[in-house]
Amino acid sequence: MLKKNLAAIVVFLILLIDQVVKIYIKTHFRLGEEVRVFDWFIIHFTENNGMAFGMEFGGKAGKYFLSIFRIIAVAAIGFYINKLARQEETPRGVIVGFAMIMAGAMGNILDSMFYGLVFTESYFDVAHLVSWGEGYAPFLQGRVVDMLWFPMVEGSYPDWLFGGKSFLFFSPVFNIADSAITCGIVYMMIFQRHFFKEEEK
């Protein structure tokens, strides 16, 4: 029970922070508006129809497929967390890692499911809440809100490599849900490898 509660707390806190930040950005920034916090950290409001870090996937049909896939994946992760939580030998860190991944996936699912139904467009003015179903897109077709941008290193490749084209690291704009998924996966790979080796045995 304690491990289930731990998972629930992690999911709730990440979802809360993710949605509060997204709704604030959505209702206070126009699309493309940005605030430079540091030279290497910019709050930049953008939206995407696809996967993490602004990647796209197959138009409207791809959006439906991706949303349904995410819902199934979240259900599977939730089932697996429940199974692991029943086992005494499961480390708390494993529960936390999976809960982070689950919360991140849920955060972006909520955008896709509901933002199009309850928000106006953000192109020319900040979005505002409207009556259910009067927003900019139907169910599962809402766009994911991104705002975190870390353009830390900017430069150019040598002429003999990519023809001297310029590069920017790190160029994708992402959100807290994306961060939770990435951090959860990296954390599990680095600190919980022994658990998966034992599971294989």
Instruction: Count other Cβ atoms within 10 Å, centred on residue 100.
Output: 25
**Tokens 């990647």 -> residue:** 55
Total count of domains within the chain? 1
| Cα(113)–Cα(130) distance, integer angstroms | 15
**Full domain range(s) for residue 69:** 2-200
Quick one: angle between helices 92-110 and 2-28, nearest 10? 30
**Contact call for residues 103 and 177 (beta carbons, < 8 A):** yes
114 neighbors 142 (Cβ within 8 angstroms):
yes
Q: How far is CA 89 from the centre of its chain?
A: 30
Residue 160, C-beta contacts closer than 8 angstroms, at least 6 positions apart: none
Burial label, 114 (beta-carbon count in 10 A; 0-12, 13-18, 19+): middle
- As given in the structure block, the two tokens for residue 55 are 């990647």
Q: What is the pLDDT of residue 192?
A: 81
Catalytic residue among 39, 111, 146, 159: 146
CA–CA distance, 22 with 30 (Å, rounded to integer): 13
pTM: 0.87
User: Residues 87-127: pLDDT tens digits?
Assistant: 888 899 999 999 999 999 999 999 999 999 999 999 889 99
Q: Which of 90-94, 155-159, 181-185 has the lowest mean pLDDT?
A: 155-159
The predicted model gives 153-172 an average pLDDT of 78
* CA 181 – CA 167 distance, rounded (Å): 25
What average pLDDT does the segment 158-180 reach? 84
Contact in structure between 51 and 178 (CB atoms under 8 Å): no
146 is catalytic: yes
Rounded mean pLDDT, 178-191:
93
pLDDT tens sequence across 49-68? 765 555 555 567 777 888 88
The DSSP element (H or E) to which 13 belongs, if any, is helix 2-28
Give the residue-averaged pLDDT of 170-183.
93
> What pLDDT score does 19 carry?
98
Catalytic residue among 39, 125, 159, 178: 178
Measure Cα distances from 100 to 26, 82, 182, 198 in Å. 23, 14, 9, 22
Q: How many residues does the chain have?
A: 201
Residue 132 confidence (pLDDT):
96
